[in-house]
Chain A
Amino acid sequence: MELFTRLQESGFAAWVASSPSLLAYPTILTLHTVGMAIVVGTCVVMDLRLLGVGADVPLIALRGAPRLVWTGFLINAATGLALFTTDAEHKATQTVFYIKLALIFLALLIYGRIRRLVFRNPAALTAPITSEARALAVASLILWTGATVAGRLMAYLL
């Protein structure tokens, strides 16, 4: 707990939290939403494709998607850390925060599995989509939905 207190009392956290500059808290928070849109939006498109939307879009066309996912993820890891420092003591006690982290972790695991099973598997790129891939796509949609809702509820739950 002492670590979180020290973090929150750091000069950086103070700048993020209370600088009147729009580049501080407001922009970091907004970038966190931009990163979310990129990560979740890209994963949703991959999931929908696996579930039959745009069935005539070749799977190989989505080979650039991982770069987008990681770009968005890095934006959100960085901005997320910065936002965490401003309220570290409190967030470290928030159950819904840990739920959000766990859901993101699981969603990324599923994403990695989908990538290995389908998008980096030359044989799967031209074969019919397996029921395992479809099940993973459904799990991915559920987990990203959960992570998004949990993130939003951090502003409302104790």
Chain B
Amino acid sequence: MDAFVEFIRSTQLSEIFRDQVGWLWPLCESLHFLGLSLLIGAAGFFDLRLLGFMKGVPLRSAKRFIPWATAGFAVNLLTGLVFFISQPQQYATNLSMWFKVLFLLIAGINAMLFETSYSDRLLALPSDAEMPVSARVIGAVSLLSWFAVLYFGRMLPYLVPNPRSGV
């Protein structure tokens, strides 16, 4: 891991991000927080519908907010890459980061499972139907894992052997 961190830090891109563009980090953090609000708002809306709230709203209609969640995710993936490339040593061996990645994977697999195996059947349900258990489980896993991603992301500076002061 140390060699990998050293390699990333030694790249020109890392150096430019870290040393040449002082405003890049605060800018990306601001975008990262906007992205997370968009992601959790839009995906959370769909998840709440899957959980059975807002009965009467067709799932297909609720799904129209998902591209906005994807946009928020894209912003956060890009800005997250900037953080990692700039300061890889803060993340590569950080326990909190690995939990964050774990919950990102759970959220991603959960969304993929919905698309590949449940989407057609659930989207065809009448808008006032009871949500089946499968829908509720997918909605709950999604909502919980996105909040877990947020939690471990925000705890990054603190869940490490040598916590640095909060940023």
Contacts and interface: CB of A to CB of B under 8 A. Distances in A.
**Interface residue range, chain B:** 20 to 34
Interface of B: 26, 29-30, 33-34, 36-42, 44-45, 53-54, 56-58, 61-62, 64-65, 68, 147, 150-151, 154-155, 157-159, 166-167
A37 B68 contact: no
A34 B33 CA distance: 11
Listed from nearest, the 8 A-B pairs whose CB atoms lie closest are A41-B41, A40-B37, A26-B158, A54-B64, A30-B154, A37-B40, A149-B30, A56-B61
Contacts of B64: 53-57
A40 B34 CA distance: 9
24 contacts: A22-B155, A22-B159, A25-B158, A26-B158, A29-B154, A30-B155, A33-B154, A34-B147, A34-B151, A36-B33, A38-B40, A41-B38, A41-B41, A41-B42, A44-B37, A45-B45, A54-B64, A57-B57, A57-B61, A61-B54, A61-B57, A64-B53, A151-B33, A152-B33
Main secondary structure of the interface of B (DSSP, over half): helix
B41 A45 contact: yes
Interface of A: 22, 25-26, 29-30, 33-34, 36-38, 40-45, 48, 53-58, 61-62, 64, 144-145, 148-149, 151-153, 155-156
Contacts of A40: 37, 41
A34 B150 contact: yes
Contacts of B147: 34, 37
Given A37-B36, A41-B37, A152-B33, A57 B62 contact: yes
Contacts of B36: 33, 37
B57 A33 contact: no
A155 B28 CA distance: 13
Contacts of B45: 45
